[in-house]
Amino acid sequence: APPPRKPTPAPMRRRMSGAFIETRSPGALFADPRAEPDDDPPPPPRQRPSGAHPAARRSAPPPTISQHPTPAEHELPPQPVAMPSRPPPVRTSSSSGLARGTPMRPPPRDSEPALEVNADGPEVSARSQSFLQGAQQPQFQSERPPPLLPKAPLFPRVAGDEIVEHLSLPAGLGSDLPRAIDVLPKSVLEARIQFTQLARELGLDYRLKRGVELRTDVKGIETIQSALLELFPDHEVRTRDEADEVRKHGALLSEILARRLEAEWIDISANDVGYWAMIVPPDTRVWPFGRVARFISMGHKERDLVSYFLELQTRARGR
């Protein structure tokens, strides 16, 4: 007779995740909850007896929430650390104009203060850059809408042209005013007074050194542009004395625009007069000091100061 068969133990049920269901002895119900759970060693693989039929597969019961983590939870990969949703702070510039880096981000390569670029402007060398401020400003620019200008003139209007050496001043101001070429004016009236003084000095120099009597007309503009080409043949300004000459010529050009075309100063906020702007009525913005610096840099590569004045005169008459 064949030997009696041993009863086949029921196979252990597995969870859907493939991990064994943890079982504990009744004594574990009273275990210290602060103690770490014991990892039960996996049972040895069962060997099915020969001739035994495999048991039917049963669906696993719904998983139950356990107080302690299962061994499968120990095998989960580490969760990625959530990055802060707050954007990095915006980079600010220091007082010197250079971008300051942080330990996590080095300063950019273009941290040097960028020079103002104009596609049509001249290439000013670094040596004379400080003496030719505003040379890369455009020749003129239309304003839309036209700005509001004061109706009452600051200076008395004189019919026709004037002798530059004897330009008129407002009533009550004499020729004994202090000379302050190195001090920037703080108001439009101060600017007109200072630039009138500088233009007077320039007219005196032309009479004594060149024997020419400058007037506030087209011929006077032609005279000063010829002198500028003679003074700066290499199109550079290297010394402080040369910079003073440029400023005197810019002051004269601004006074010619103010007295002949009724131009008014509209922006004197920059730290250099090369960026100060006037409005030739009704809507043309110009930079007189920057225009003189541009002419020195460009020479005859573009329209000269006479053509510049005639163009502005045409715009003013067309209002």
What residues contact residue 127 under an 8 Å CB cut-off, 6+ apart? Answer: 236, 238
Condensed to tens digits (0 to 9), the pLDDT of residues 49-84 reads 555 555 555 555 555 555 555 444 445 555 544 444
pTM: 0.59
Condensed to tens digits (0 to 9), the pLDDT of residues 137-170 reads 998 888 888 877 766 566 767 778 899 999 988 7
What spatial distance separates the first Cα and last Cα of the chain, rounded to whole Å? 130
Amino acid (1-letter code) at residue 216? T
Do residues 48 and 54 lie in contact, with contact meaning Cβ atoms separated by under 8 Å? yes
Q: What is the CA radius of gyration of the chain?
A: 44
What was the pLDDT predicted at 244?
93
Instruction: Please spell the DSSP secondary structure of 250-281, one letter per residue.
Output: HHHHHHHHHHHS--EEEE--SSSGGG-EEEET
The residue-averaged pLDDT of 31-42 equals: 57
Highest mean pLDDT out of 38-52, 118-132, 198-212: 198-212
Mapped onto helix, strand or coil, the DSSP state of residue 99 is strand
* Alpha-carbon span 235 to 32, nearest angstrom: 92
**Average pLDDT, rounded, for the chain:** 73
Condensed to tens digits (0 to 9), the pLDDT of residues 246-260 reads 999 999 999 999 999
Among 93-107, 119-133, 141-155, 183-197, whose mean pLDDT is lowest? 93-107
Percent of the chain at pLDDT above 70?
54
